[in-house]
Amino acid sequence: MVSHFVTLVCCKTFLKTVPGNMSGSKIYYSDRYNDDQYEYRHVVLPREMAKHVPRSHLMSEDEWRQLGVQQSQGWIHYMIHEPEPHILLFRRPLLKH
């Protein structure tokens, strides 16, 4: 419970420090690709936005939307690519038929 509280406080602090209206920046969205469980895509932010990507935790949907990332619901920021923090890695479960 304490760690959840700390995460919420960190997220709120992060959201307040990110400059508003970053959506005008050029953001690259990869084509989608998948394995047998997930659909994946990566999103490349302009390098100058890397300083706004937290390195301590994976971002919530509110956080990545605050950066200007626009995609449908259900995408999860699942991994931090340490060498290139401006590249965000997303996945979502495949629908089972």
Provide the residue ranges of all domains of the chain, joining segments of one domain with +.
2-93
Looking at residue 25, its pLDDT comes to 59
- CB contact at 8 A, 65 and 14: no
Looking at residue 11, its pLDDT comes to 36
Q: What angle do CA 75, 80, 82 make, to 5 degrees?
A: 155
Structure tokens, 26:
């050029």
Question: Which CATH fold topology does 2-93 show?
Answer: Cyclin-Dependent Kinase Subunit Type 2 (3.30.170)
Residues of the chain with pLDDT under 50: 1-23
Looking at residue 24, its pLDDT comes to 52
Tell me which DSSP letter residue 52 carries: G
